Amino acid sequence: MMTVLDAPLPELIERLGRAVADAQHALDVNSLDIAKRMSERTVDLGDGQLWSLLALGFTPTFYAFAEATLEAKLTFTIRESTEFSVGGGATGGMAGIFSVTVNAEYSRKYGFEVQGASSIAARLVSLPPPARLHQLL
């Protein structure tokens, strides 16, 4: 599974485009399937004649993607810290012997953090049947 941090922007946009195209195709096939079922389904209105739902004016709803939005947010944090300390002490004795101790500490720390979030939104709108289908009805 690819995360938003791993995928380059062009690939994310391509995947969104393909997903919208695949979903649009599925919506179109579904609407045509419903139209076929509406033509096969008949109703007797009491006049001795069987009417299909399409003949009575019912039409399937067609949908289209009006827009699709891909939003990606990335946050990078880089930290650097340096610590330096010096300490010591001296001792002396009666015989003229002295000792000195020196403590020195140095440290440098680095930190790198990446956070990411993404969202995809799509807006669908209903459309009238295609003009040719409407003429056939």
pLDDT for the residue 26: 96
Cβ atoms < 10 Å from Cβ of 31: 19
pLDDT for the residue 74: 75
pLDDT for the residue 130: 79
Biggest distance spanned by C-alpha atoms of the chain: 132
pLDDT for the residue 57: 87
Give per-residue pLDDT as tens, 83-93: 888 877 777 76
Give per-residue pLDDT as tens, 117-130: 778 888 889 888 87
Low-confidence residues of the chain, pLDDT below 50?
Answer: 1-2
The answer to whether the beta carbons of residues 40 and 109 sit under 8 Å apart is no
The torsion of the CA quartet 52, 58, 60, 64, rounded to 10 degrees, works out to: 160
Tokens 């289908």, residue located: 133
The token pair at 35 is 């139209």
What radius of gyration do the chain's Cα atoms show?
Answer: 37
Give per-residue pLDDT as tens, 93-109: 666 677 777 777 888 88
The answer to whether the beta carbons of residues 18 and 116 sit under 8 Å apart is no
